[in-house]
Structure 1
Amino acid sequence: MQTWDQIINTALLGTDKRGPGANELPAALAEAAAIIQQKTTDKEEQFLQTAALAFNYRQCGTMPLKKENVTIEKAAPEEKQYCSLLAVQTLNDILDSESNSLLQFWLQQCSDKARIVTPEFVPLLMNMGIQQKKLQHLVVACCGKRGEWLSRFNPEWNFSTASTDEDLWQTGSPEQRKLVLEQVRKVDPETARAWLMQTWPQEDAGTKIEFLLLLGINIGAADIVFLESLSKEKSKKVKDIALWLLKQIPGSPVVLQYQQLLQQSVTNGRKGLQVELPALDENILKTGIDKLSNNKDYTDDEFVAMQLIQAVPPSFWETHLQSTPDVIIKTWQKDATGKKLLPAIVQAVVAFKDQRWATAFMQNSHVFYIDIIPLLPVKEQEFYSIKFIGQFAENVIEHAIKREDTWSIDLTRAIFIHTARSVYQYNRSFYSRYIHCIPVGIIPELAKCAPGEEHLRSTWNNTSEYVTTLVNLKKQTIQSFND
């Protein structure tokens, strides 16, 4: 259709150039085109109406695709019940709110209750799964057999065709494989490692690095053999990450090597804590230990000792010094050398996730170590978070948003009092992103979180209205799946 080419040229070059005239259009359009030109003299208006006329004429002349002997099977009958009318209404409101975190919360509730969405939501959720990778497994679970059936007609929905985690691992996209490996590693570390070992030779260096980092989840002695085998990898980055992971396993050869060296080097006598290292073996230095201090406050021996201590389980000191965590912490705090080395033990507490030592530090240390908070029982986490939020607000919030459970009212109030004063850093997206952590009982407390400054208070009032909307949707979601 030559007329359509002229319309495209006019759209590109502008209406100052001559567009298609009525006499240049197909005969069937000539009369309608003449009416358009009579009703308006505006070039742009004439062009747009003529283009719309030509477009519809062109579309009407297109024949539908026809294939012989094509049969489409019906979707299999659903095995799960549809969710309630209230749940459907809530889902609709959540989609309008554009809160992905709240949508994930709704989908999780739906999946946990073995329910599925009504058919009209299936294409919408499948499309959202294309963009929101972390929602894909929940979308699959909540779209049921109809979602599985529809996925055959759109390649971008192929994330729903894999019925098991292993199918996703074998045939999924790189992002899908990464997500499924992370999920399986949390609940079944052995299987996750076995899958990774099977496909390892076929993975490229970048993919190996991403998968290897996930091995840090639930890392343990069973991973040692595989990690040690990676010392022959070509990629230095892969080898470095493997060594870093080995340093987090109490029984790994590198950790045992460090312990033996510390046993020889660190003693506690009449003069207090003494650090005297023998000549360092080349094998020790190859594990990433720097032998020269880069801090004038530390001798070379103390600097090496700090690096070793960071990679040794804190429980080692109980055996080596024949003492308890409480006594060791109190004693080292009074000792000049011990005071220097205590932060290294804190790093080891975090690396090895030692809850006993974390509690001992909180109860006996003169210094507050914020990184220890996630290792404490939930009640203690919240107690210390509230107590020190004035000094370490950013760190406290950073740790809080990593939790998967719901905050207490007291902690939420403390966090909101801080975020209400930092309206640019903590805008609406912050509350939307972490709505899963916010308790439904916070609404009566929102007024108490308002800052004293008038200009900040008005902004907080608007924010608190938004938070109230999100919390009410969360509350409604819980109710709709519990009725």
Structure 2
Amino acid sequence: MTTPWNNILHTALLGTDKQSLRAEELGEDLSPMAEQIVTSDKEEKFLQIAALAFNYRQAGFIPQHKESAQLSKPTPEDKPYCSPQAMQVLADVLEEENTALLALWLQLCRNSGQLARPEILPALLQRCITHKHLREDILTCGGQRARWLATLNPDWSMLPGSEDSAEQQWQTGTPEQRRDVLQQLHKSDPARALEWLQATWAQEDVNSKTDLLRSLSASPGPIDLPFLEGLSVDKSKKIREEATLLLKRIPASNLIRKYSEALQQRLKLKKERSLLGMLSKTALEIVPPADGQELSPILVQSGIEKLSNKKEYSDEEFICYQLMSYIPLDFYTSLWQKTPEEVVKLFNDDPLGKKLIPALVLSTVHFAEPKHAVPLMQFSSTFYLDLLPLLQPQQQEFYSNKFFATSPDAIIQYSTRRETEWGLELTESILRHASKDPYRYSKIFFNKIIALIPVGATAVLDKIQPDTLPAGASGNWPSISDAIRTLLLLKTQTIQAFNK
């Protein structure tokens, strides 16, 4: 049925030159008022009628009534709501649009066993769309009502616990949703995730397969081996390469076993006499395979190069270096019956070992092995920045302070990845260095890492005076310092709100 509003829309689409809007087309309520609009300009008359009809529609519009449209009620909450002080701080954090402080507020709220009040939940749920890492905490702090609200808005349908379940997202979601849900499921239930992936594998195209394989990279494990090793003969080169990358992440894979066998054939221990001939020591040597065979095609296809591209390494040394980069340090402790500390000392004290010890570091980082990061930091003569994230917070703090003067920017980069606050000594070093380079360490930088800066840093900021800074930095640092103080005040208020 044609309505006055539809007539207006139709005229707007066609243009007033092709169709004029007559007063009788507006219905008995609007026609008398439209006739009072006197102007010879067709566009002006149309716009005035449209404005009149719009306000009339807004004032008297009655939504369609459907008996079947029933809204369920949320499950009653079993946790207490936050204090008014905590809610005010949350409102301030949201207004500041600081994701780091929002994450801190949510963490403290979750740890306290409290809930955000209902009126703030829509604003929090909106943050879930662009900040995936906050979704679980927002739903936890939002309680039953947040999960109920998530079922009512399509934009929030990706949230865990909403009506659009993980399996529904896997079956009908966008490529990004399918990848995310597979990645999360693979962390919590790898067997089920693998079952889902194999069930749809034949229907996926090459790009989709590659993308889904990459979603397993956060948590590859032995349970994935039969599937991944079966992909080594896939007709797609992209699939084979992606599967190989994952197999290199799993110590129990046949590929890593072949790497270990190839290295064992080449890298040997030998006894050497000291200069006086009284004592002997253990040394490393590389012995080419006795049968003279080159690398197997499987190793070459996996990315191991036969010829060295580094002038300081011979071809055989370079082959060993590459193999070692993907072999866990446990291989040497088992083969040579030595502790991790003894293995690191052996490599560090040996001329050949010094050339190969960076490969041990690469392997330790590759397999994320904290237990081996410690001896590599303690007993090697070189400081390896890549090992810092694998250390305990106290150890990270110690080595960061120890080597800050020699590698300030690199240490700052790694320090921003920490999950615990910096100590005041490291904080002062970072702030002093940042104050001299305000273009690199701007307000945006500190907005992202404010959760890592202790609230006591305001005293450090007091020490950094503009007259002590280089000429190019003195004009910018005061405004950055003020922004840090504002964020630290919000952080202090957040902590205090949950300590009462």
TM-score (norm. length: structure 1): 0.82
- Counterparts of 1:17-36 in structure 2, within 5 Å, are 27-29=31-33, 33=37
Q: Is the 8 A contact 2:151 2:162 kept in 1?
A: no
- Counterparts of 1:33-432 in structure 2, within 5 Å, are 33=37, 52-53=51-52, 55-60=54-59, 62-160=61-159, 162=161, 167-171=165-169, 173=173, 175=176, 178-179=179-180, 182=183, 188=188, 191-202=189-200, 204=204, 205-217=206-218, 219-269=220-270, 270=272, 273-278=284-289, 279-280=293-294, 281-321=296-336, 323=338, 325-326=340-341, 328-330=343-345, 332-333=347-348, 335-432=350-447
How far apart are the structure 1 equivalents of 2:195 and 2:235?
16
Going from structure 1 to structure 2, the CA distance change for 1:163 and 1:81 (only over 3 Å counts) comes to farther
Q: Is the 8 A contact 2:136 2:160 kept in 1?
A: no
How far apart are the structure 1 equivalents of 2:460 and 2:355?
43
How far apart are the structure 1 equivalents of 2:236 and 2:431?
45
How far apart are the structure 1 equivalents of 2:344 and 2:75?
64
SS of the residue aligned with 1:417?
helix
Structure 1 residue ranges without an equivalent (≥5): 14-18, 38-43
The equivalent of 2:453 in structure 1 is: 438
How far apart are the structure 2 equivalents of 1:329 and 1:75?
59
Q: Is the 8 A contact 2:93 2:102 kept in 1?
A: yes
Q: Is the 8 A contact 1:115 1:142 kept in 2?
A: yes
Going from structure 1 to structure 2, the CA distance change for 1:150 and 1:291 (only over 3 Å counts) comes to same
Give a deviation string over 1:299-354, Cα, whole Å, max 9, x none.
22122111111111223334445555555545545654333222222212222334
Q: Is the 8 A contact 1:193 1:215 kept in 2?
A: no
TM-score (norm. length: structure 2): 0.79
Q: Is the 8 A contact 1:325 1:360 kept in 2?
A: yes
Letter of the 2:241 counterpart: D
Letter of the 2:354 counterpart: K
SS of the residue aligned with 1:433?
helix
Q: Is the 8 A contact 1:125 1:139 kept in 2?
A: yes
The equivalent of 1:460 in structure 2 is: 477
Letter of the 1:476 counterpart: Q
How far apart are the structure 2 equivalents of 1:24 and 1:62?
18
Q: Is the 8 A contact 1:420 1:460 kept in 2?
A: yes
Letter of the 1:277 counterpart: P
* Cα drift, residue 24 of structure 1: 12
Give a deviation string over 1:416-449, Cα, whole Å, max 9, x none.
2223333233222222222232222222222335
Q: Which moved more, 1:148-157 or 1:379-388?
A: 148-157
Q: Is the 8 A contact 2:248 2:326 kept in 1?
A: yes
* Cα drift, residue 156 of structure 1: 2.0
Going from structure 1 to structure 2, the CA distance change for 1:69 and 1:343 (only over 3 Å counts) comes to closer
SS of the residue aligned with 1:153?
coil
Matched, 1:474 2:491: yes
Letter of the 1:431 counterpart: F
Q: Is the 8 A contact 2:190 2:223 kept in 1?
A: no
* Cα drift, residue 94 of structure 1: 0.8
SS of the residue aligned with 2:327?
coil
* Cα drift, residue 27 of structure 1: 4.9
Aligned length: 470
Q: Is the 8 A contact 1:350 1:372 kept in 2?
A: yes
Q: Which has the higher contact order (CA 8 A, sep 6+)?
A: 1
Q: Which moved more, 1:138-147 or 1:256-265?
A: 138-147
SS of the residue aligned with 2:158?
helix
How far apart are the structure 2 equivalents of 1:21 and 1:67?
34
Going from structure 1 to structure 2, the CA distance change for 1:181 and 1:293 (only over 3 Å counts) comes to same
Going from structure 1 to structure 2, the CA distance change for 1:8 and 1:338 (only over 3 Å counts) comes to same
Letter of the 2:149 counterpart: L
Give a deviation string over 1:143-168, Cα, whole Å, max 9, x none.
3333333344322222357269x942
Going from structure 1 to structure 2, the CA distance change for 1:447 and 1:230 (only over 3 Å counts) comes to farther
How far apart are the structure 1 equivalents of 2:347 and 2:406?
25
Identity across the alignment (%): 37
